Amino acid sequence: MDMATLEFEQIKTRHILFKIRLQSVIKGSAIDDTSLGSHHLATIEKWIHEKAERYIHIAAVSELERVHAKIQECAEKLIALYKNSITEEIGEVLSQLEVLTEKFSELLETVEKEIKAQDAEASGIPAIPKEITIGYQELLELHELIQKQDELVRAHKINEQRARDEVRGTENKFRSTVMQAPVGITILRGPEFVIELANETYLQIVDRHENDFVGKRLFDALPEVKTAVEPLLNEVLQTGRSYYGNEFAVNLKRFGKIEKSYFSFVYQALREHDGRVSGIIVVATDVTTQVEARYALQQSENQFRNLAAQSPIAMAILKGKDWIIDMANESLLKKLWRRKAHEVYGKKLMDVFPELKDQQFPAQLNEVYNSGRAYKENEAVAYIDGKDGTRKFYLDFEYAPLFETDGTVSGIMVTVSDVTEKAESRQQIKDAVERLSLATEGTQLATWDLNLVTFDIIYSKRLLKIFGYDEDKILTHPEMRSHVHPDDIHSVVEKAFEKALLTGIYYYEARIIRPDKSVHWIRTHGKVIFDIHHAPVRMLGTMMDVTEEKRYKQAIEESERKFRMLADSMPQLIWTADAQGNLNYFSQSVFDYAGLTNEQLMNEGWLQIVHPDDREENVRLWKDALATGKPFIFEHRFRRHDGVYRWQLSRATPQVDADEVIQMWVGTSTDINDRKLFIDELELQVQQRTRELHLTNENLIRSNYELAQFAYVASHDLQEPLRKIQTFVSRIAESKESSFSAKDKDYFNRVQNASGRMQQLIQDLLSFSRTNASESHFEIADVNAILQNVLEQLAETMDQKGAVINFSSLPTVRIIPYQFEQLFTNIISNALKFSNPEIAPRIDIACSTVSSETIQHSVGETTSTYYQIAITDNGIGFDPQFSERIFQVFQRLHGRNEYEGTGIGLAICKKIVENHHGFIKAIGEPGKGATFFIYIPATA
């Protein structure tokens, strides 16, 4: 129990005494300073005043002071009323006091919580005996007061049963207070020290159960303490004088063994009404841990000083703000300071080395002392005077603050390394130090120091984090052991511990279970320290959380297992190599294919299965891949287990880390023998087809030439006789028309019509044959101008039919102008020719830009954007099933007697659009007109 708790328990006890006395007054006791415990109120007032000055910012303390002042005021008023015999107001004041005392109790609990929260970091070993004596002297007073109250109840004989219950309740409250006290309390009766009562804390201290302890003689229950404490108890029983023990050592059997323990205690005599001592109340606190901790701390400090004195690293301890030299080891004295110990010990650093005042070190020491933060620097330049003059040093040093138990800085520990000889390689040393620093910080090691005698353990804060606790948590060694996974405690940890006691080396990897039930892996390294009798007394070590490392290793193992399982199940030959190109793994399919074992491939090399003609190129490409980091790709032949070589396509890709450094190679070899043979055969066929295509092209060129000759003949040789026939038939008709019968005229008309159709057919065929883009020239042209020219040529026909033509802005595009003119002429002429005789023809021409993805037509890869020119009429239309047929040569949907024409016009339109790398479509419906869509690339 800490001092703060003990202090509050004392105040609570005094207040309880006041409340009990108040109850006595209510039940009929006389009212005076003694009955109301004025000395208790004064003590409480003094305590509250001290707290109010110290914790002025805590509102509850001020309120507590105010309520207590009211209690004192009421108590004084009550005494005055009693002395002046003003009985009518006494009851009212007593009621006020009852309310105020309850309010005081509640506020006292609040103040205790808030003060403890603020002083949570305060620590130390409390001066137990004095405080215990004061607090539990008041418990004795409480006991005597209960007896007096009982006598008062019997004397007045008022409501005997109720009074008895009150007494019993008060006794129970007393017993409850004792049983719940945070210190050990027991009551011994008679010369044989029979144990009348022992609270839970006392039972825990002596490691006994109540049934085996209470009611027995003390030395029957604890025979091992008789020698040490019996004389003390007899002295108290005989003289009635209290005895105070502070850190009293006694051998006590508890927790399964006899061990030396330390206690601070009070033996207080219990007196009867006649003054006779009938027993002893014992109040004890176990301070074993504090005493041993102090001894361990002293031992640790002595060991540290010895270690520092013998350390090859120059070290010194400076005390206070003036940096008094408290210790300096030989390494520092001889190598850097060049002085004797008696010349510097007990002196101020700046008095011994005044040359340091103008250097950086005083300011750095001040900062460390004032801030409590360590400071270190590498290769700092220092000028130090000695008997051999002023010397320049390059120093790696660290200033570490030394803290007192209250957290204040009392001094600075200096560690120095002379790196003057390495000044020329300063940068290399700096890099090495940085790498070492990163490695040290990255390891996140925790340190620990275990006393193998008491099993007390000292550890760094990092260890608490490893176990999943906050830094202010206190863990014992058994508590740490309790976190070890049940499957690892015996088979791993205890086994390693037993081995360490024999070998001196402690090492294990095991699982721990944190408070949040998460499982973590730890790795512990330690060394056992033996005494001169080779008995283990201490163990020092480190601990590290290796959970991620374990998970990473397990993930790698699982990944490798899956990789090997997958590789072994694949028909391809799978293999891996290290970063230097040495093959280190082959899948089962490699062994099955080659008929070799892993040892044969590893010892004799994998090139043994490669065809001799392919080995040199194989090695060259593999070395090139290793040098450049590029993938290895090669087609070569592998010898199968039956001696047959088959073609394989081998690929190997490098596997790199986050820094793009190659860690390994993963390769596959796929059997391509059948494909290789197929490709060879295919290449032969391609060569044959190429020759055939060449001959076909020659025939096509010849056919095109003959077609050109035909066009020439059709243009001249066929039209010339036809023109003569038409001329002579016309002359005969003109000279003999008067003598012709009606039948003769009909014959002549048929001849003229037939020759006209023949001439038109020849001209259309000639136009169709001439529609060849390779014989034309593309140029940038305004389609609006071309359309306007066509409309002027068809103006007479349009006027005759009363046609109306509307068109929006058309693009300027790269085309063959005269072909586009013919394109518009043919389509518009068709619209006029196939118009509905009952309504005036209407033709709408519009243009838009469309994406090739929206066109339901195979457009190849010519372009991604097209101009869509739509020509819509309101003529007779056509059946949708003929939308493709109308673009074929000599295709007519109507008889010659209904509509004139050769059936070639739309075929010419299709050829023109195709010459422009586009296409043409038509949609129509009988009686509802038709629309022709012309698509040409927007980049044409």
In contact, 205 and 283? CB cutoff 8 Å: no
Q: Which of 127-131, 240-244, 412-416, 935-939 has the lowest mean pLDDT?
A: 127-131
Structure tokens at 738: 């008067």
CA–CA separation, 47 vs 65, rounded Å? 10
- Judge whether residue 484 has pLDDT over 90: yes
- Judge whether residue 918 has pLDDT over 50: yes
Single-letter amino acid, residue 337: W
β-strand partners of 931: 872, 923
pLDDT digits over 19-64, tens only?
666 666 655 555 555 555 566 677 788 888 787 777 777 888 888 8
Q: How many C-beta neighbours within 10 Å does residue 739 have?
A: 7
- Asked whether the CA dihedral 56, 60, 65, 66 is positive or negative, the reply is positive
| Average pLDDT of span 674-686 | 83
CA–CA separation, 332 vs 339, rounded Å? 9
| Average pLDDT of span 266-279 | 87
Q: Taking Cα atoms as reference points, which of 167, 174, 192 lies closest to residue 136?
A: 174
Which DSSP string corresponds to 347-368?
Answer: SBHHHH-GGGTTSSHHHHHHHH
Q: How do beta strands 277-286 and 314-319 pair?
A: unpaired
pLDDT digits over 787-820, tens only?
999 999 888 889 998 999 998 889 999 998 888 8
Identify the band that residue 439 occupies on the pLDDT scale cut at 50, 70 and 90: very low
Q: Taking Cα atoms as reference points, which of 488, 463, 479 lies closest to residue 550?
A: 488
In contact, 136 and 268? CB cutoff 8 Å: yes
CA–CA separation, 854 vs 856, rounded Å? 6
| Average pLDDT of span 169-178 | 72
> At 774, phi and psi to the nearest 5?
-70, -20
- Judge whether residue 703 has pLDDT over 70: no
| Whole-prediction pTM | 0.30
What is the number of alpha carbons within 13 Å of residue 750 lying toward its C-beta? Answer: 6
Q: What is the pLDDT of residue 523?
A: 93
| Average pLDDT of span 233-260 | 91
First-to-last alpha carbon distance for the chain, in angstroms, is: 98
* Higher per-residue pLDDT: 376 or 92: 376
Q: What is the pLDDT of residue 491?
A: 93
Structure tokens at 293: 């901790």
Identify the band that residue 430 occupies on the pLDDT scale cut at 50, 70 and 90: low
Q: What is the pLDDT of residue 773?
A: 43
* Higher per-residue pLDDT: 162 or 572: 572
pLDDT digits over 897-915, tens only?
555 555 677 888 888 898 8
pLDDT digits over 585-613, tens only?
888 888 888 899 888 888 888 889 999 99
Structure tokens at 400: 């570490």
| Average pLDDT of span 341-360 | 90
- The set of residues, in sequence order, having a beta carbon less than 8 Å from that of 820 and lying 6+ positions away, is 781, 783, 786, 912
β-strand partners of 396: 417
Q: How do beta strands 389-403 and 375-386 pair?
A: antiparallel
Q: What integer best gives the mean pLDDT of the chain?
A: 81
- Asked whether the CA dihedral 458, 460, 466, 471 is positive or negative, the reply is positive
In contact, 449 and 528? CB cutoff 8 Å: no
- The set of residues, in sequence order, having a beta carbon less than 8 Å from that of 839 and lying 6+ positions away, is 874
Tell me the three state secondary structure of residue 136.
Answer: helix
- Judge whether residue 143 has pLDDT over 60: no
Identify the band that residue 492 occupies on the pLDDT scale cut at 50, 70 and 90: very high
Q: What is the pLDDT of residue 614?
A: 93
CA–CA separation, 871 vs 808, rounded Å? 11
* Higher per-residue pLDDT: 384 or 887: 384
Identify the band that residue 132 occupies on the pLDDT scale cut at 50, 70 and 90: very low
Identify the band that residue 67 occupies on the pLDDT scale cut at 50, 70 and 90: confident
For residue 604, count CB atoms less than 10 angstroms from its CB and return exposed for 0-12, middle for 13-18, buried for 19 or more: exposed
Q: Taking Cα atoms as reference points, which of 606, 651, 605 lies closest to residue 630?
A: 651
Which DSSP string corresponds to 831-873?
Answer: HHHT--TTS--EEEEEEEEEEGGG--S--TTS-SEEEEEEEEE
CA–CA separation, 411 vs 400, rounded Å? 9
CA–CA separation, 32 vs 21, rounded Å? 11
Q: Taking Cα atoms as reference points, which of 211, 284, 203, 295 lies closest to residue 243?
A: 284
Q: How do beta strands 842-851 and 804-807 pair?
A: parallel
Q: What is the pLDDT of residue 717?
A: 61
Q: What is the pLDDT of residue 884?
A: 82
Structure tokens at 529: 């320290």
- The set of residues, in sequence order, having a beta carbon less than 8 Å from that of 509 and lying 6+ positions away, is 492, 521, 522, 523, 524, 546
C-alpha dist (Å) from residue 420 to 329, 335, 353, 396, 561? 20, 11, 20, 9, 54
